[in-house]
Structures are given as C-alpha cells and as structure tokens.
C-alpha cells in the first residue's frame, strides 16, 4: 500500500522536498536533504480545495434557486 507524500520547505536554504510516511506521522518534523532542521510542512493542493492531478474532479457548485426571482424564472 503506497504511503502519502508530504511536501516540506526548508527555511534555511529555501529548498522544497517531499517525504513519504504513514498518516500517523504526518505532523512529525522532517530535516531537509541538506541536513537543515528548520522546515515547515506545506499544504497540498488537495488540502487547499482542488483536485489532485489525475484525481476526481471537484463537484460543481449547486445552482442558486428558490423564491420568485432567486432561480431566474421571473421575466
């Protein structure tokens, strides 16, 4: 079973890198490949609200409706 990948950025050298680890360890710190410990975990595009490449598309927004003119039926 593949493990999730988490993206980190090193505050020392500004390098961005990925770490594969179990979800139970998702918030654990990660050293950058250059050995610096001052890193920050980045939010993935999926966590921000988009669909990952190759993933399912986001559901369309519901149509506005209701009331006499709320649905655009008044003429």
Closest CA to 27 of 41, 14, 16: 41
Which runs of E-coded beta strand occur in 11-55? 16-20, 39-41
Q: What pLDDT score does 12 carry?
A: 97
Write out the two tokens for 51: 């669909």
Domain boundaries, the chain: 5-46
- 15-53 pLDDT per residue, tens: 999 999 999 999 899 999 999 999 999 987 654 544 555
Question: How far from chain centre, in Å, is Cα 56?
Answer: 14
CA dihedral (51, 13, 38, 32) in degrees, to 10, reads 70
Highest mean pLDDT among 5-14, 46-55, 58-67: 5-14
Q: What pLDDT score does 44 carry?
A: 72
Q: What pLDDT score does 2 carry?
A: 85
pTM of the model: 0.57
Angle CA(30)–CA(7)–CA(56) in degrees, nearest 5? Answer: 145
């Amino acid at each position: 079973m593949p493990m999730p990948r988490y993206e980190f950025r090193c505050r020392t050298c500004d390098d961005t890198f990925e770490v594969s680890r179990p979800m139970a360890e998702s918030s654990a710190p990660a050293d950058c490949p250059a050995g610096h410990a001052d890193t920050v975990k980045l939010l993935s595009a999926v966590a921000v609200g988009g669909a990952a490449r190759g993933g399912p598309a986001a559901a369309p927004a519901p149509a506005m409706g209701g009331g006499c003119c709320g649905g655009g039926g008044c003429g």
